[in-house]
A and B are shown apart, each in its own frame.
Chain A
Amino acid sequence: MATSTIKFCVWFLLIVFVDYGCLTSPESEAQSFFQSGHTNNWAVLVCTSRFWFNYRHVANTLSMYRTVKRLGIPDSQIILMLADDIACNARNPRPATVFNNANQHINVYGDNVEVDYRGYDVTVENFVRVMTGRLPESTTKSKRLQSDDRSNILVYMTGHGGDGFLKFQDAEEISSIELADAFEQMWQKRRYHEILYIIDTCQAASMYHKFYSPNIVAVASSQVGEDSLSHHVDPAIGVYIIDRFTYYLLDFLEKVQPTSQNSLGELFQVCPKSKCISTVGWRTDLFPRDIDKVLITDFFGSVRNVELNVTTISLEKPNRTPKEGITRSKKSQSQLKYAEQFPKYYKEDTKQVSFSLDHVNSVIWRMYLKDR
């Protein structure tokens, strides 16, 4: 008998303590909405080539731009660097458009593309400046990467590359060591929480071999010694219009919505050797989380954490003097009308105009005579 009562007491106490524990943690409500460790998302999309025959690189970048925008990252948090010489190129049979598919269904250079660095501004220097934040003070807000220690950044680069370097606009190159140093500078100032680095060039894997800063996961379209190939040619336009790796990436991303639960692990497997011909490689040793559990929307979209407002402050209504009420009503009474199209003095007599000209003339004569 005694043991059964003891058992009952123990269970009762346990239940009471468990309930007590649940009640005294108001923070646990907020915790459930904070699923990720980041609060904002940025994207840096760089197309490093120019000239008409590199149409596919521009199409790659613009397609990624569209995807990233569709999944929620606003323009103010996307830095797009393009040479932007394709849409209005004299050789473009469909002017003001850039397509990423031979069926020409989507014009990726649509109505609201905001290019932050265009033309000859796409240089290694500007890229490193954007990443490290060392821009001149006169730079506008839209050209700055204003990330903080809780920002996830997607960096996508495409163009022509080689073993340990990436060619910028046929004039200069960025080496893998410079890129790694730029990321380290960002880490020193905690300018990112996590970075996803995607690169679609020849021998792309060489660019991520030298990274040494934490929280970076990188995927490349080809290994050292391999070339990345393009997908198909559009006979109507006359150039290759999309690269294989990016084509299969976009194919996968089209099905992703802001509420999707697809993981990065799935994204890295979209292009096996049979489809991509080059071997896709990735680097996850610097990344603390398991890529099969990282959501794609952590980098490609912008799903923010929320916290419900449980308590509010109560304020008192201040005493307003009646005088201010009167001035307000006076303002609203004044009628709005169109401004005069021509300035007043223009409409008046031309005599006055000539008078003023004569006046000016006489003043000048007087000044001239004074000098003499």
Chain B
Amino acid sequence: MAAPVPWACCAVLAAAAAVVYTQRHSPQEAPHVQYERLGSDVTLPCGTANWDAAVTWRVNGTDLAPDLLNGSQLVLRGLELGHSGLYACFHRDSWHLRHQVLLHVGLPPREPVLSCRSNTYPKGFYCSWHLPTPTYIPNTFNVTVLHGSKIMVCEKDPALKNRCHIRYMHLFSTIKYKVSISVSNALGHNATAITFDEFTIVKPDPPENVVARPVPSNPRRLEVTWQTPSTWPDPESFPLKFFLRYRPLILDQWQHVELSDGTAHTITDAYAGKEYIIQVAAKDNEIGTWSDWSVAAHATPWTEEPRHLTTEAQAPETTTSTTSSLAPPPTTKICDPGELGSGGGPSAPFLISVPVTVALAAAATTANSLLI
């Protein structure tokens, strides 16, 4: 048998057949991408076919009813988002694919919303933007930052697509910054700009790690501590002041305290036994606006243990600071008119000089135990 020649012949024939097959069944070109406006009407011609050619249209592989056709053209009225898809027209008899259209239904962009903020003063500021309504098709944004006539670089945020960062080169500038953004997609274009002074956009992040603790033996006190936000780069030269608000969960009215220094405060007028919600906000001492409120802390003031009707009833009256209870002896209790209903021992004003020493020791041990 003369094997090579007939085998070669078959191989060539098979290859030729494959080529012809793919030519007949694959598109002459990649699908034509088309963007159309939501609510509009569109007529899709079947490529270069004559108007009176006999064609069938399919969308995503599903046949379309012939009543949508105008000759060989597909007519879609009142486009909805659901009309997006891959449209293909075939020669009716041979099922030869004539044309493909990848249709995206969307909207031109409306005016973007742009805002800038400095939570890292004096290092820099960031700008973020978004569209008020979706376009359903891809958009590209272009941000430019001008300081007077000087163009500044806005570095894209590594994580967030709609944010970029600008570093301050100069501080205390009298010249305003102008940030412009333009957005465009296949259906349209829009832009906006904002102008501001360096000082007006300063807004720190909220304070961190807000913790509220009851104060032992003080049924109307709560001790609140927090930290300056970690994003604020230089609290020494750019100190923050704080605003604290608190209320018992059962009431709607907030109490407010403004603190110009320190990261701790003791609430002294809490309602005994009620759970409190506490929040803190921060602001640069001189410029800018208040931060958002911090994550809320919850705490309930200290309440005395209920007495048991046993012979041990006498014991709490005579405990000293050497027992496991960290409360100072009631007979040496500090006279505090605010501590009503404390159920403790008698107040003894003439013993004030003594409690100072004892309470200091007790407070110290309390502080130590709290730090465990």
- A, B: real partners: no
B residues apposed to A, CB below 8 Å: none
